[in-house]
Chain A
């Protein structure tokens, strides 16, 4: 039995073929990135490149769904790769222990990039690289029970820097539900962009408040 049997009504044969032929880079394999990675594998992505220089720590286990207590001290991308291959062994996955900084280079074979990072410096660098290399970018960030998701296409305004100018560092609270909601949206958003669906978050900003369950999409100026 095909593992994608139950999503046939949502994704056409052509959609699934596009996903199967696509490779996505996930920058940051923490609270958001683990959800996005597992989501994309279960949705039918063909390849993933996981990028994170961090190791699993006990305080990650409240929300980072690919890790267990036995993984503490191990590199996140290596553990994540094993777990993802246990879900589907026909997906191509590379695990890179690297940090997103100016010398980093997005591989040409990647169709698009997921921003699941935890700091704005790396986010701005990543967004500039996506623009320069012609890759789409699906961003999310969170603070406690709040967060945002937005997508950016190369050569199409607004740019990431236009929207998030003024954003500043913080070390916010983070828990399972906000990561699952935002990461789940990011995974679907990647699929929408790859499959050419128009109802995506390009040129828009989804703002999420899990305290009151308020979700709102704001149109961004070009």
Chain B
């Protein structure tokens, strides 16, 4: 049977970097997890990050999350499956010009 445990990479950008340092890292997972589960894991490292990213169990407007370079709103949202080897980028894109 294929071994599926391993690390996933996460990277925080934009104004999230004001509050959460170090702003990137790796999390070991024994099997694929959902994005919602990953955000719970991140909350163990970064207090309050779930509240910053979620609103009534949905992604808060203004938050963009890319899994391997693809916006999760074009995948399965918070149910998007994250596998070992995946890279998750979380950032509120700057609106100003």
Contact = CB atoms under 8 A, between A and B. Distances in A.
A220 interface: yes
A118 B95 contact: yes
A112 interface: no
Interface string B47-74: 0000000000001011111101111011
Contact of B15 (A143, A158, A221): A143
A40 B97 CA distance: 17
A166 B15 contact: no
Interface residues on A, range: 35 or more
Contact of A216 (B11, B68, B74): B11
Nearest to A165: B73
B91 A207 contact: yes
A33 B96 CA distance: 11
Interface string A107-120: 00000000111111
B63 A166 contact: yes
8 closest cross-chain pairs (CB), A and B: A168-B62, A143-B94, A168-B61, A221-B70, A221-B69, A118-B97, A141-B94, A142-B94
Interface of B: 11, 13-15, 17-18, 23, 59, 61-66, 68-71, 73-74, 89, 91-97
26 contacts: A28-B97, A31-B97, A118-B95, A118-B96, A147-B96, A148-B94, A163-B64, A163-B66, A164-B64, A164-B71, A164-B93, A165-B71, A166-B64, A167-B95, A168-B61, A170-B62, A171-B95, A172-B94, A207-B13, A207-B14, A207-B89, A207-B91, A214-B17, A218-B89, A220-B69, A221-B68
